[in-house]
């Protein structure tokens, strides 16, 4: 697992998508499938976007580009995902891990649909010194505590973890948990222990 990335997200797509099948898991909100379109333009052989939501802007872009991207409406944490979409050379999953209450279940599912490369991106919360593997459940936090996680006023990822996510108290996209980097690493190790990933795959 690498935490200091040498590439931008777009560079990752350009590097891994050409000649490969590519699935973009959770690629809709705020970005309208942009990484799927990048993968298609970069020469991916098949591109699927899996999300619980579909936007009009995504459909507009689909028409405009005369794109062959397949949209599959599905919950990426459901065990049926593999049967629904099959396997892919490249699994791209950005900004989703902190949305789901069961991160390990999501990682296990991503592993099942992944033939070669899993590119997993997530915001993390700060480490608490002396308390590794911390996590916080966002829904129903009192407003003054919820605001701590809103990075939009600090030049942070307002698009991904903005006020909407923090003000909602439930719903499919809003049952998320913030995790420290050590917690995300521990989730990958737990996936290894469960036999879903090998150590070299998580390296
Ligand atoms: C913060 S956005 C990330 C968008 C994009 N990947 C990016 O990097 O900007 C999270 C996306 O995950 C989707 N999502 C949330 N829960 C999901 C789930 N259980 N299964 C599939 N998609 C989900 C949301 O609808 C939304 O499109």
Closest CA to 16 of 77, 107, 93: 93
The reply to whether ligand 1 has any atom less than 6 angstroms from the CB of 92 is no
Q: How far is the CA of 72 from the centre of ligand 1 (A)?
A: 13
Spatial contact of 110 and 40, defined as CB atoms under 8 Å apart: no
**C-alpha–C-alpha distance, residues 6 and 198, integer Å:** 23
Give the pLDDT of residue 160. Answer: 46
**C-alpha–C-alpha distance, residues 134 and 119, integer Å:** 23
Half-sphere exposure of 175 (CA within 13 A, CB side): 9
**C-alpha–C-alpha distance, residues 27 and 121, integer Å:** 12
Domain boundaries, the chain: 9-202
- The mean pLDDT value of the chain amounts to 83
CATH superfamily of 9-202: Vaccinia Virus protein VP39 (3.40.50.150)
Q: How far is the CA of 130 from the centre of ligand 1 (A)?
A: 32
pLDDT, tens digit, for every residue of 93-120? Answer: 998 988 888 888 898 899 889 999 999 8
Q: What percent of the chain has pLDDT over 70?
A: 80
**C-alpha–C-alpha distance, residues 45 and 98, integer Å:** 29
Characterise 74 by phi-psi region: left (phi > 0), alpha (psi -120 to 50), beta (else): beta
How far are the Cα atoms of 21, 27, 58, 92, 169 from residue 18, in angstroms, in the given order? Answer: 8, 19, 22, 14, 40
Spatial contact of 176 and 98, defined as CB atoms under 8 Å apart: yes
| pLDDT(2) > 60 | no
Residue nearest to atom 13 of ligand 1 (CA): 26
Spatial contact of 82 and 105, defined as CB atoms under 8 Å apart: no
Closest CA to 37 of 72, 63, 61: 61
Pocket test for ligand 1, best of 173, 174, 175, 177 (most atoms within 8 A of CB): 173
Give the pLDDT of residue 158. Answer: 45
pLDDT, tens digit, for every residue of 132-176? Answer: 999 988 777 777 777 777 766 655 554 444 444 444 554 444 678
List residues bridging with 136 in a β-sheet. 178
**C-alpha–C-alpha distance, residues 33 and 189, integer Å:** 30
Q: How far is the CA of 99 from the centre of ligand 1 (A)?
A: 7
């Amino acid at each position: 697992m690498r935490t200091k990335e040498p590439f931008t997200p777009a560079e990752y797509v350009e590097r891994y998508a050409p000649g490969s099948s590519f699935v973009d898991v959770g690629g809709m909100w705020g970005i309208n499938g942009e990484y799927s379109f990048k993968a298609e333009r970069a020469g991916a052989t098949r591109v699927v976007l899996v999300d619980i939501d579909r936007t009009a802007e995504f459909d507009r872009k689909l028409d405009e580009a005369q794109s062959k991207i397949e949209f599959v409406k599905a919950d990426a944490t459901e065990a049926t995902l593999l049967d629904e979409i099959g396997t892919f050379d490249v699994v791209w999953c950005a900004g989703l891990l902190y949305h789901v209450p069961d991160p390990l279940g999501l990682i296990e599912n991503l592993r099942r649909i992944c033939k070669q490369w899993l590119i997993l991106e997530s915001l993390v919360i700060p480490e608490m010194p002396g308390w590794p593997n911390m996590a916080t459940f966002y829904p129903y936090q009192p407003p003054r505590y919820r605001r701590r996680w809103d990075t939009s006023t600090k030049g942070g990822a307002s698009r991904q973890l903005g006020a909407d996510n923090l003000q909602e108290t439930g719903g499919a996209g809003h049952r998320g948990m913030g995790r420290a980097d050590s917690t995300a690493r521990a989730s990958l190790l737990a996936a290894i222990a469960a036999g879903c990933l090998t150590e070299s795959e998580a390296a």
